[in-house]
Amino acid sequence: MQIKKIFQNKLISKNAKLKLYFSVIRPVVTYACETWILKETITNRLMVFERKILRKILGPTYENGSWRIKTNEELDKLIKHENIINFARAQRLGWYGHIETMQDTRMVRAIYAWKPISKRPMGRPQIRWEDDVKKDIQKLKVPNCKTLVQDRGRWKWLGRPKLCTRSCRAALRRNKAVL
């Protein structure tokens, strides 16, 4: 049976369809997202993809005697702000923490720490993976992340899929003394 037919099937509950999306489809779509640089075009395409699937799963809303599709804000509330972009960012922060805690002799760590001898080309510099990760860390307003990475429990809590949401920022402000 095709996925599209499963999502349109009225005999399957919405919760089962959402579980299918979060456990099968999203991991396939975000495979290796730890290494992605989230440019605006990629971000927009992923959000459109996710909203299209969520609208297919959740269906229209009956309001004031007529049917209408759910708005982006309604979809965001229904998935509790755990969208595909925040998921990819959380995965990326997890990978960053893993690299930072690696021994210097590991190949991945050596490649990460390597700085090329040549200069970058003229013009606007391309966004690097490390720059994107640092931007995510700055959004979370994390002081001295290099030391925080060494404490795996706190770092893992920081990289939850609710990255960059109001509740996460409020929790970070409350726990600032802990961080």
pLDDT one-digit tens code per residue, 91-145: 999 899 899 889 989 999 999 889 888 888 899 888 889 999 999 888 888 877 8
The whole-angstrom distance between residue 126's C-alpha and the CA centroid of its chain comes to 21
28 domain-assigned? yes
Count how many residues are written for the chain.
179
| Residues of the domain holding 162 | 86-115+126-174
Residues 11 and 49 in one domain: yes
| Predicted model pTM | 0.80
The count of domains in the chain is 2
61 domain-assigned? yes
First to last CA, the chain: 48
Condensed to tens digits (0 to 9), the pLDDT of residues 27-74 reads 999 999 999 999 999 999 999 999 999 999 999 999 999 999 999 999
CA distances from 10 to 5, 13, 16, 75 (A): 10, 7, 11, 19
